[in-house]
Amino acid sequence: MTKEITRLIEMLKQIKSRTGKDADTSWSSYDDPQEIREELDEYISQLTEGNEEVLNTLNLLFAPTSTFQELSIANDWSDEYLLMAEEFDKIFEKLKKKKS
């Protein structure tokens, strides 16, 4: 597993830790916090197993005004999210260049 994938897994775990049972998901595409936590676990599992196809899905979730940003705004951790999204974009581009 590359250091980039390891870092992405850490970022997803960080988002999961910020999505407790009382998290506001009203502006996201999820019905409740448990749903997003389960999906994050699936993405983590896929990355751990070496499935980098999930990167395209994560790219959409990290996009401006998409799910993760809306979740962060609704739950008062948007500053932290913006730093994370910037880092995600750099990692995503680096991994895409390696594949081409």
Condensed to tens digits (0 to 9), the pLDDT of residues 38-96 reads: 999 999 999 999 998 999 999 999 999 899 999 999 999 999 999 999 999 999 999 98
Span 1-17, mean pLDDT? 96
Give CB contacts under 8 A, 24+ apart, made by 32-37.
36/67, 36/71
pTM for this structure? 0.92
Which residues are within 8 A (CB) of 64 and not within 5 positions of it... i.e. 6 or more apart?
85
- 3-class DSSP assignment, residue 29: coil
Span 11-32, mean pLDDT? 91
Neighbours of 42 (CB within 10 A): 13
* CA separation for the pair 98, 22 (Å, rounded): 39
What confidence score (pLDDT) does residue 39 get? Answer: 95
Total domains, the chain: 1
Neighbours of 45 (CB within 10 A): 12
Q: Which domain holds residue 90?
A: 3-99
What confidence score (pLDDT) does residue 65 get? Answer: 87
